[in-house]
Amino acid sequence: MYSLAVSDHFMIAHSFRGEIFGPAQQLHGATYNVELDFRRPTLDQNGLVCDIGLALQVLREVLGEFNYKNLDELPQFKGRNTTTELLAGEIFTRVKARVAEGAVGPGTAGELASLRVVLRESPVAWASFEGTLR
């Protein structure tokens, strides 16, 4: 399986509900490093997995929906703990929709097999979500 990865980062504020979160129950900030890893079994006629510039643009657009925002105030997260795991899945869903629209290159949507989203919240802790794109 071939893969192409792009990365960027975003900064948010949020809080969690539940004793398990200890001091993180209070409003706090986080800076996430994000990696998208696009995969497909064969390369296209140009020898590519997908257009790297378009992949980075899609990632930046998706992260722009969260960057510098308090996630507690966004309607789509009302009543939910915006854990690193949950955010990885949310980014996956949004990128997958853009891939289906052809945002990472013409004809690419039907050829990409899967996508892995990795959110690194620190040098020693991260979460990911992986799924098919077909």
DSSP state of 17: -
Confidence class of residue 82 from pLDDT cuts 50, 70 and 90? Answer: very high
Q: What is the dihedral of CA 41, 45, 47, 49, to 10 degrees?
A: -50
CA 83/CA 50 separation, integer angstroms: 29
Instruction: For the chain, give the mean pLDDT.
Output: 96
pLDDT at 106 over 90: no
User: Shortest CA distance to 56 belongs to which of 104, 99, 117, 114?
Assistant: 104
pTM comes to: 0.95
Mean pLDDT value across residues 114-133: 97
User: Would you state the pLDDT for residue 130?
Assistant: 98
Contact 11, 71 (CB under 8 A): no
Q: How many CA within 13 A on the CB side of residue 83? A: 14
pLDDT at 109 over 90: no
